[in-house]
Amino acid sequence: MPFPPASEPIMNTPTRLMLNVGHAIDHMFLLIFATAVTSIAKDFGLGRWEDVMPFSVGAFFMFGIGSLPSGKLGDTWGRRKMMVLFFFGMGASAIIASLTQNVWQMAAALTLLGAFASIYHPVGIPMLVQNAEKPGITIGINGLAGNLGIAVAALITGFFVKYAGWRAAFMVPGLISIVIGLLFMKLAPEEHAAPSRKKPTTAALDRQTMVRIVAVMTLTAVTSSLVFNFTTNGNAELMRERFKGVVEDPAMLGVLLAAVYVVASFAQIVVGTLLDRYPLKRVYLLVAVIQTPLFFLAAQAQGWSLFLLQILFMVSVFGAIPFTDALIVRYVDNSMRSRVTGVRLAISFGISSLAVYLLGPVVKAQGFETLLYVMAVIGLVTLTLVNLLPADTNRLPEKA
């Protein structure tokens, strides 16, 4: 089901680069708090990080539910305009977070941050793939950029906390995002028209097949997002707990966690390449089948064994990310991709924001061992859902 060439001008290299950097910013900014939460808790006069973590739930709730208006505006108002708003909004809200004086102010700042963060996925990714020659590898590279943002959050936040304080970990990236927004305004090509005003170019599937694909796409997005939020928000404290007596310096732990994310991030390049060559369902099953046993093993692991298993289970977590976007590129016309993505994200991230809220209380009550077992069960659910995809879900089109 190949797509004809898009009517938009070919994206120039600086714009592609800034769109990928935008993905890094999106994930990085959302995880600065999780990485610095122990220092923030002490600064605000609260002893345990588990008691502060639930105050970030607003960011992840808005990250999900905000995708609905973001996707609609991306299709009807314009993706370029929305991305300008993204860069400036992320920068401003991060700076506001750096100035907060208590947990309720921080909660408000993070909620605002989540609202602007909701723009990227339903707007930036459709903008990037709308005229890509090989959408699979394009999605893979973009996913790598997003995950490197997670690695950067772990790395620079650890150093900022140690040498300049947690406030600098918000302030400096916020200023950088505003600078990138100015560059994007100058270099990104103007849109001829909003995507929704263009004629559809994709032949419609039969209703039964489309309902099946959308259902699987949405449910796997929910399970994958739950695991993603549990791991990316909990990995720093998991490593801190399991490395006691081995490594305890926050900067060094930040380096180790960044290494986990950097190595695991390249799984998306591999998956993206495979998606351009092989049936989507076959590749997705390969990624999903390894997740559950890795979480089971990690539940009991300590020290360097945990470090190895964190790399491996994050390979499976990051490796699963491209599939939902790949399904959208494969089956949804460009004129409505932002809206479809927005609906999918609103459901998946809206539900998975509970993971952020529950992370602290669950670990406080039951420990990381129980949490890892829960993620293993979620992995089994994902595997079951992937099996429901139609067998003819072939590789991505050459032109999207």
Digit-coded pLDDT (tens) for 35-88: 888 889 988 988 777 788 888 888 988 988 899 899 899 889 888 999 999 999
Residue 7 belongs to some domain of the structure: no
Contact 323, 220 (CB under 8 A): yes
Grouping H, G, I as helix, E, B as strand and the rest as coil, residue 302 is coil
Residue 131 belongs to some domain of the structure: yes
Rounded to whole angstroms, how far apart are CA atoms 341 and 79?
Answer: 13
The secondary structure element, H or E, covering residue 4 is none
Domain count for the chain, please give it: 1
Write the CB contacts of 365 (distance below 8 Å, at least 6 apart in sequence): none
Residue 95 belongs to some domain of the structure: yes
Rounded to whole angstroms, how far apart are CA atoms 382 and 374?
Answer: 13
Spell out the per-residue pLDDT of the chain, length 400, in tens: 333 344 444 567 899 999 999 999 998 998 899 888 888 998 898 877 778 888 888 898 898 889 989 989 988 988 899 999 999 999 999 999 999 999 999 999 999 999 999 999 999 988 988 877 788 888 889 988 987 887 788 788 888 888 889 999 999 999 999 999 999 999 998 887 777 666 655 555 567 777 788 888 888 888 888 888 888 888 888 888 888 877 778 778 888 888 888 888 888 899 888 988 888 888 899 999 999 999 999 999 998 999 999 999 999 998 888 888 888 887 777 778 888 888 887 887 777 777 777 777 778 888 888 889 989 999 999 999 988 887 755 555 544 4
Residue 2 belongs to some domain of the structure: no
Q: Sign (positive/negative) of CA torsion 155, 160, 165, 171?
A: negative
Tokens 């120039």 locate to: 12
pLDDT on residue 258: 83
Residue 68 to residues 17, 90, 151, 398: CA-CA distances in angstroms?
Answer: 25, 18, 28, 28
pLDDT tens digit string along 176-209? 999 999 999 999 988 877 776 666 555 555 677 7
Residue 298 belongs to some domain of the structure: yes
Residue 393 belongs to some domain of the structure: no
The whole model's pTM is what?
0.75
Residue 400 belongs to some domain of the structure: no
CATH of the domain at 153: 1.20.1250.20
Residue 124 belongs to some domain of the structure: yes
pLDDT tens digit string along 111-137? 999 999 999 999 998 898 887 778 888
Residue 366, domain extent? 13-194+205-386
DSSP string across 313-355: HHHHHHHTTHHHHHHHHHHS-GGGHHHHHHHHHHHHHHHHHHH
